[in-house]
Amino acid sequence: MKFPKAGKDAGDHPPITPTTKAGSKSSMKHDEWRLYEYVCRHFLATISPDAKFDKKSVKFAGAKQEFSLHGASVIDPGFTDIMPWIKVSDTPIPDFKIGQVCLISFVDVKTAQTQPPDHLTESELISLMEKHGIGTDASMATHINNICERNYVTVTGQGRRLEPTELGISLVHGYQKIDPELVAPTLRSNIEKSVDLIAKGKANYDEVLNSVITLFIQKYINFTQNISKMDAFFGGSFGTYEDAVIEAKGFSKCGKCNRLMKLVDKFHKLTCEHCKMTYDLPQVGKTLFLVNILEWKL
């Protein structure tokens, strides 16, 4: 039996491990069986032998240019027999000899441009959060859910890629303009490390707490003093809030003055110009249902 080479014990919970036979494929729902099978295969793969394959690289020189050719042949599939989705395929190449001369059969020149990287998937984002020490296994999913509910990103496609919304992009650019540390991973990571030191008895709770509070008070003051810099990023995409209120239409009666309140849909707000009251609405959901409840409570 082989022991896993990667991973570490974070102390929060044991690995997901199959403990007994859950039943047959016919006795379980399709998605239930797929999940159970995945857990079993992954567990068995972690204690299975390494995959072994022979890599071969050949370099050619021609017309003062250097070219390379790469191939691989599987010697022992090892754990990839259990996890076929990461199986290494044979890519055989001829057995060239040093100094061998080969004839060029054709030459092809292609013009292309580099492509930007794709949006991060949820799993890629979690890997980056782990790398920078942000969050725990229990809280990472909550962080991702929060940015989705607040309409900073949307989850797209079967690969579950996180695509930033116009609101999310504007916020990040605004924060970078005012205080880049607020959107850099180092700030949150340093706080997480300090909390971890408290848990290990290597840092004083009150000192860390006071230090963090002082830091964020300073950042809050700096942010509020420079918040006008946000306007450049929100004005072009969303316009001003005052303009949006003027364009908004009456939607539901105010529970205090009985006049129509305006739904400022672009900013997810409901406002009564007579009472000078503004209510925040959820970023997602059915506005009609939520507003009716709000009116009833008022």
pLDDT tens digits along 13-26: 677 888 777 777 88
Is it the case that residue 233 has pLDDT exceeding 80? no
Model pLDDT for residues 237-277, shown as the tens digit of each residue: 666 667 778 878 888 888 888 888 888 877 778 889 888 88
Residues 136 and 193: their CA atoms lie apart, in Å, by: 12
Whether the Cβ atoms of residue 162 and residue 125 lie closer than 8 Å to each other:
yes
Task: For residue 57, give the DSSP letter.
Answer: E
Residues 231 and 244: their CA atoms lie apart, in Å, by: 14
Most confident stretch, 61-70, 132-141, 227-236: 61-70
Is it the case that residue 9 has pLDDT exceeding 60? yes
| Token pair for 133 | 């020490």
Query: Quick one: what percent of the chain has pLDDT higher than 90?
Result: 25
Model pLDDT for residues 274-290, shown as the tens digit of each residue: 888 888 877 655 555 44
Domains contained in the chain, CATH given:
122-230 (1.10.460.10), 240-297 (no CATH)
Whether the Cβ atoms of residue 60 and residue 102 lie closer than 8 Å to each other:
yes
pLDDT on residue 196: 87
Say how many C-beta atoms besides its own lie within 10 A of residue 60's C-beta: 14
Helices (H), 132-165: 137-149
Most confident stretch, 70-74, 136-140, 201-205, 240-244: 201-205
| Token pair for 180 | 């880049």
pLDDT on residue 296: 43
Task: For residue 17, give the DSSP letter.
Answer: -
Residues 88 and 100: their CA atoms lie apart, in Å, by: 29
Tell me the C-alpha to C-alpha distance, in Å, between residue 166 and each of 125, 170, 182, 233.
19, 6, 19, 10
Model pLDDT for residues 157-213, shown as the tens digit of each residue: 888 999 999 888 989 999 999 999 998 889 988 998 899 899 999 999 999 999 999
Residues 293 and 298: their CA atoms lie apart, in Å, by: 9
Q: Which of 30-34, 63-67, 77-81 has the lowest mean pLDDT?
A: 63-67
Is it the case that residue 2 has pLDDT exceeding 80? no
pLDDT on residue 292: 44
Confidence of residue 291 (pLDDT cuts 50, 70, 90): very low
Tell me the C-alpha to C-alpha distance, in Å, between residue 80 and each of 15, 52, 84.
20, 10, 5
Q: Which of 9-18, 46-55, 223-232, 255-264 has the lowest mean pLDDT?
A: 9-18
Is it the case that residue 294 has pLDDT exceeding 50? no
Tell me, what amino acid is at 209?
Answer: L
Positive or negative: CA dihedral 16, 17, 21, 26: positive
| Token pair for 141 | 């999913």
Q: Which stretches of the chain are assigned E, i.e. beta strand?
A: 52-62, 65-76, 153-156, 161-164, 250-253, 260-264, 269-272, 277-280
When the pLDDT of each residue in the chain is averaged and rounded to a whole number, the result is 84
Say how many C-beta atoms besides its own lie within 10 A of residue 204's C-beta: 12
Query: Quick one: what percent of the chain has pLDDT higher than 70?
Result: 88
Is it the case that residue 3 has pLDDT exceeding 70? no
pLDDT on residue 201: 93
280 three-class SS: strand
